[in-house]
Structure 1
Amino acid sequence: MAQSLDDIVKVNVTVSPQAQSAGSFDIGLIVGKSAVISTQDRVKIYTSLASMKSDGWTGEEPEYKAAALYFSQSPTPSKLVVGRWDGTGETAVDAVDACRAANNDWYGCYVVNATPEEIEEVAAAVEAMKPESTFFYTTNDEAVKNGTPGNIMEALKGAGYKRTFGMFSTTEHAAAAVMGYAMGANTGGANSAYTLAYKSLVGVTPEPLSTTEVQKILALNGNAYTHYGTNYKLLVQGTMANGVPFDEVLNLDMLTAEIQIGAVNALVRAAKIPQTEDGMSLLINAIEEQCEKSVVRGAIAPGVWKASPVLTLQRGDTLSKGYLVLAESIASQTQEDREARKAPPIYVPVKMAGAIEHVVINVTVNR
């Protein structure tokens, strides 16, 4: 009988825990009352209109019509979550919350045929939702383009919501088209960062708005799809109810999620991260690795720090990589924090790449 080689050389194989990802930011949710999906199932995932048809959708349901706009955009989003709203005993917020509980993958959501009151309620709920999400809605209320006090865009602007995108349009479910573009364009690849300003929307009819009407909509931090010049049909301006561009909200949500999951993965995969400066370097390296993803996407870029000082970073210093990861020293920790096995506070100053959306060109002619 042959003897075991383990007596000479013993090989132990250890497989490190699988790293988790920061989640998806390229899937939308459309919620409605059609009974094609049961309240028990609550949500279903579709990859195309054909997959919806094969699942029993006829094409006449408002969810399907919104999905048609969602899937028609270029780049085309790869997935859509459709959720059920039980119209006999649920509020719109109840339905969206139930869809979140059933599926954590979606980032943008749209509720078909929501009233202004329901839009306000969902906007408030999405503002505090975890994981972070965004809400798109459509309104054709004449009070919006006329700037009449009390309209839905004015209310949401007053609330300062940064996660709600409002669209004035007489095209039914036009905001679902915007959501489709936003989800389809967010590939996560190199130089994939984008804005919603000046994009073309498939299936949405441009509004015949006057300059005054456009300005009133924009003043409410709303958005519209209209004619510019002789040939352009453009979405303006791509902002949330608080005036912040959609892409800034998206990029910061992605960065935050990636930093969080990077730090957690470092803690999970290490046998131990010592409470030393070397241990802090392990955490800092894990966070820097995640920040690099935003650099590759084009969301973060080198620039001059013009905010308040952060540890050794001073106003006027250049962030050569677009970000910096700093930590307070182990030596500065209180004994209480040390015994609680806490890391010293970590700071991540970042410089957003921004976007140019307005240009002034001066032409000087000499004869």
Structure 2
Amino acid sequence: MSTLPLNTDVNVIINLSPLASPRNAFNLGLIIGDTAVISAGDRAKEFASLEEMITEGFAITDPEYLAAQLYFSQKPQPTRVLIGRQDSLETPVQAVTACRIANNEWYSCLVCGATKTEIEALAAYVESASPSTVLFATTADADVPTGTAGNILKTLKAAGYQRTLIMYSTDGDAAAAIMGYAMGANTGLINSSYTLKFKKCVGVTPEALTTAQVSAIEGDNGNIYVNRGSYYNMFEQGVMADGTFFDEILNLDKLANDIQLNVMDVLYGNSKVPQTEGGVGMIRSAIISANEQAKSIGFVAPGKWTGPNILGLSTGDTLPQGYVILSDSIDAQAPADREARKSPPIYNCIKLAGAVHSVIIQVNVNR
């Protein structure tokens, strides 16, 4: 029996939306050294354990291995590390640049045994590097705890570098330990946001510093690992060279990345985003998704807006959701912008949850 197709009456068209782009987890650290195990051609290799590094050919005395040992010793333990190769004719900046070309996923980096001059050059590089990058570095320079003019901390502080964290320690590449904690603890799970202060650096010996030395180092936005109250071995203060807290840099980088990719997925995954209030609403929804993720990890929280007035948001207003997204009206858009198919400016105003680093308690006693 002959039959006719149903398509003339019922035509089913399946539109499978494109896959969303993968998100950067911001939990992979890069350790660079000049040990000739990884070839300059391979440039960088990822390892999940110290055993894998030994299998690759690293010795337990190699600087990269020792730094990775500190990195993997932290709790929570990071799941992987990237080991990069600095060729004998390269500067550390050239090696980091080559490792970025070879692998686009790592977020933090440390160069084994970097000198003062090399740290200065690396700090300048990471400040403008793309994608967003942070540098961890260790200094044992004698002029740091004395607060001497021209030391590495004062130099980087004066430059206002926001993407370099310097740790004063006489214990090798000690900053690899706090980098390991930073990457291992960044799980993206509920309430996983953290501050670096108070954290234990497994494998690092606390520095025996005087109160004056601590004040000199921390006054120049340096970080230290010390013992307080006999029992507590702790890292402090968790700041970058300009004084910004590391956790703010990390989570703002992640939020910016999530917003960018969320909005791009909307533009890429739809036949078009109309230049209407509804279209702008689609973009705002994508931003909301990123904000909610930041809120779920504990980085964003409800609070009072103390920033400047922005459109309908005024200084002193409460943000019950921890954020508010504002945009100019489509009707108020300049004809040239509309003809260029631009969205009106969108303002994502967020309130950070912050973290408590010190407490004052008054005990009032009555007999």
Q: If the TM-score is normalised by the length of the shorter chain, which range does it land in?
A: over 0.9
- Contact conserved, 1:21 with 1:258, CA < 8 A, in 2? no
| Separation (CA, whole Å) in 2 of partners of 1:192 and 1:202 | 20
More off after superposition, 240-249 vs 13-22: 13-22
> Could you give the per-residue CA deviations for residues 102-129 of structure 1, whole angstroms, max 9, x where no partner exists?
1111111000011110100000000001
| Separation (CA, whole Å) in 1 of partners of 2:325 and 2:203 | 44
How much has 1:67 moved relative to structure 2? Answer: 0.4
How much has 1:56 moved relative to structure 2? Answer: 1.3
| Separation (CA, whole Å) in 1 of partners of 2:38 and 2:219 | 39
Partner residue, 1:117: 117
Partner residue, 2:65: 64
| Separation (CA, whole Å) in 1 of partners of 2:224 and 2:262 | 38
Cα distance change of structure 1 residues 155 and 11 upon mapping to structure 2, 3 Å threshold = same
Relative to the length of structure 1, the TM-score reads: 0.98
Partner residue, 1:247: 247
| Separation (CA, whole Å) in 2 of partners of 1:296 and 1:359 | 26
Partner residue, 1:192: 192
> Could you give the per-residue CA deviations for residues 3-29 of structure 1, whole angstroms, max 9, x where no partner exists?
465445433222101011331210100
Matched residue SS, 1:145: coil
Cα distance change of structure 1 residues 158 and 2 upon mapping to structure 2, 3 Å threshold = farther
Any residues of structure 2 matched to 1:85-100 within 5 Å, and which? 85-88=86-89, 90-100=90-100
Partner residue, 1:334: 334
Q: Once the two structures are aligned, what percentage of the paired residues are identical?
A: 49
Gaps of 5+ in 1: none
How much has 1:284 moved relative to structure 2? Answer: 0.7
| Separation (CA, whole Å) in 1 of partners of 2:70 and 2:4 | 66
Equivalent residue letter for 1:104? N
| Separation (CA, whole Å) in 1 of partners of 2:308 and 2:127 | 27
Gaps of 5+ in 2: none
Partner residue, 1:15: 16
Post-superposition, which runs of at least 4 consecutive aligned residues in structure 1 deviate over 2 A?
Answer: 1-12
Partner residue, 1:50: 51
Aligned-residue RMSD, C-alpha: 1.1
Partner residue, 1:181: 181
| Separation (CA, whole Å) in 2 of partners of 1:287 and 1:150 | 43
| Separation (CA, whole Å) in 1 of partners of 2:6 and 2:95 | 59
> Could you give the per-residue CA deviations for residues 23-50 of structure 1, whole angstroms, max 9, x where no partner exists?
1210100011111111110110011111
| Separation (CA, whole Å) in 2 of partners of 1:258 and 1:311 | 24
**Count of aligned pairs between the two proteins:** 366
How much has 1:212 moved relative to structure 2? Answer: 1.1
| Separation (CA, whole Å) in 1 of partners of 2:41 and 2:297 | 39
| Separation (CA, whole Å) in 1 of partners of 2:4 and 2:247 | 61
How much has 1:142 moved relative to structure 2? Answer: 1.4
The question of 1:33 aligning with 2:38 is answered no
Equivalent residue letter for 1:107? Y
Partner residue, 1:149: 149
Matched residue SS, 1:298: coil
Equivalent residue letter for 2:297? R
Partner residue, 1:158: 158
Partner residue, 2:362: 362
| Separation (CA, whole Å) in 2 of partners of 1:49 and 1:137 | 21
Relative to the length of structure 2, the TM-score reads: 0.98
| Separation (CA, whole Å) in 1 of partners of 2:155 and 2:4 | 77
> Could you give the per-residue CA deviations for residues 271-292 of structure 1, whole angstroms, max 9, x where no partner exists?
1111011111111111111110
Equivalent residue letter for 1:127? E
| Separation (CA, whole Å) in 1 of partners of 2:315 and 2:154 | 36
Cα distance change of structure 1 residues 55 and 9 upon mapping to structure 2, 3 Å threshold = same
The question of 1:74 aligning with 2:75 is answered yes
Cα distance change of structure 1 residues 3 and 83 upon mapping to structure 2, 3 Å threshold = farther
> Could you give the per-residue CA deviations for residues 202-244 of structure 1, whole angstroms, max 9, x where no partner exists?
0000011111111111001000001101211111111110011
How much has 1:185 moved relative to structure 2? Answer: 0.4
| Separation (CA, whole Å) in 2 of partners of 1:356 and 1:245 | 12
| Separation (CA, whole Å) in 2 of partners of 1:105 and 1:6 | 49
Equivalent residue letter for 1:261? L
| Separation (CA, whole Å) in 2 of partners of 1:133 and 1:30 | 13
Matched residue SS, 2:224: strand
> Could you give the per-residue CA deviations for residues 63-108 of structure 1, whole angstroms, max 9, x where no partner exists?
11100000000000011111111122x1111110111111111111
| Separation (CA, whole Å) in 1 of partners of 2:239 and 2:65 | 26
> Could you give the per-residue CA deviations for residues 243-268 of structure 1, whole angstroms, max 9, x where no partner exists?
11100111111111111111111101
Any residues of structure 2 matched to 1:164-313 within 5 Å, and which? 164-313=164-313
Equivalent residue letter for 1:106? W
| Separation (CA, whole Å) in 1 of partners of 2:184 and 2:12 | 47
